[in-house]
């Protein structure tokens, strides 16, 4: 009996160590990219999900899926904490979903599905690392930015449109504000990243542009 308990304890410790290792690998990737959630967060998420799953099996809950659902709910609150709004952009969504995915890996380990968890870890790392290059490629080919351009005259409105067309950028007016002596227009421009950079160079040196920001 003592031998069986000792064996079960060693097996549980092995599962916990594996969960910490997986959290370490994913957390290191997020820490390297200087994200809002880093090394310690992912280790604790993976470890905590694994331990909760082990406990649910040992306690003998009649409906194990109920405890799994509660883990996911708790992770949802944690993930929401790393999502932030910066100007017109929402950030932290990838890190939040990575926390969610890491919790699922910890649960898989806690339930004894080690091979599945290791495969999931590899897929997470591939998605976070390799697909970044694909994302950058798409972003460079189809860059969307919002510019706030201030000019001195209402007649410069058409001048801005011609400038966008010249740089092969699609444009859409988001907001416009006119005060005495200035016209501030917020534009949504879409096009290649190189075209955006060429536009910025013209905005910096154009006498008709009082100021700009994006």
Angle 128-132-135 (CA atoms, 0-180°, nearest 5)? 130
> What domains does the chain contain, in order, with CATH numbers?
2-140 (no CATH), 143-213 (3.30.70.260)
Number of H helices, E strands in the chain: 7, 6
Instruction: Give the separation between CA 117 and CA 120, rounded to whole angstroms.
Output: 5
Looking at residue 120, its pLDDT comes to 94
pLDDT tens-place string over residues 50-104: 998 888 887 765 666 666 677 777 777 777 777 666 655 666 788 888 899 999 9
Radius of gyration of the chain (CA): 26
User: How remote is the C-alpha of 94 from its chain's centroid?
Assistant: 2
Instruction: For 155-206, write each residue's pLDDT tens digit.
Output: 778 888 889 999 999 999 888 888 877 888 999 999 999 999 999 999 988 8
Q: Residue 95: its pLDDT value, please?
A: 84
Task: Please give the full DSSP string across 29-60, using - where no structure is assigned.
Answer: HHHHTT-SS-HHHHHHHHHHHHHHHHHHHHHT
Enter the tokens of residue 92: 């932290």
Q: What pLDDT does residue 124 have?
A: 93
Query: Under DSSP, is residue 89 helix (H, G, I), strand (E, B) or coil?
Result: strand
Residue 206 has phi, psi (to 5 degrees) of -90, 125
């Amino acid at each position: 009996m003592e031998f069986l308990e000792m064996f079960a304890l060693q097996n549980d410790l092995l599962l916990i160590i594996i969960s910490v290792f997986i959290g370490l690998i994913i957390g290191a990737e997020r820490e390297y990219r200087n994200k809002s959630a880093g090394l310690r967060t992912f280790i604790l998420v993976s470890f905590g999900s694994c331990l909760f799953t082990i406990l649910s099996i040992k306690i003998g809950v009649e409906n194990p899926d109920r405890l799994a659902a509660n883990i996911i709910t708790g992770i949802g609150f944690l993930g929401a904490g790393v999502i932030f709004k910066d100007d017109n952009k929402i950030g932290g969504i990838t890190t939040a979903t990575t926390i969610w995915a890491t919790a699922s890996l910890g649960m898989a380990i806690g339930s004894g599905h080690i091979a599945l968890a290791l495969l999931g870890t590899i897929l997470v790392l591939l998605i976070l690392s390799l697909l970044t290059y694909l994302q950058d490629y798409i972003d460079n080919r189809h860059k969307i930015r919002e510019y706030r351009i201030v000019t001195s005259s209402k007649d410069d409105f058409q001048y801005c449109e011609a400038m966008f067309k010249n740089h092969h950028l699609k444009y859409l007016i988001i907001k416009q504000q006119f005060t005495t002596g200035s016209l501030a227009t917020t534009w949504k421009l879409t096009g290649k990243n190189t075209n955006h950079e060429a536009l910025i160079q013209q905005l910096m040196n154009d006498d008709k542009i009082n100021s700009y920001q994006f």
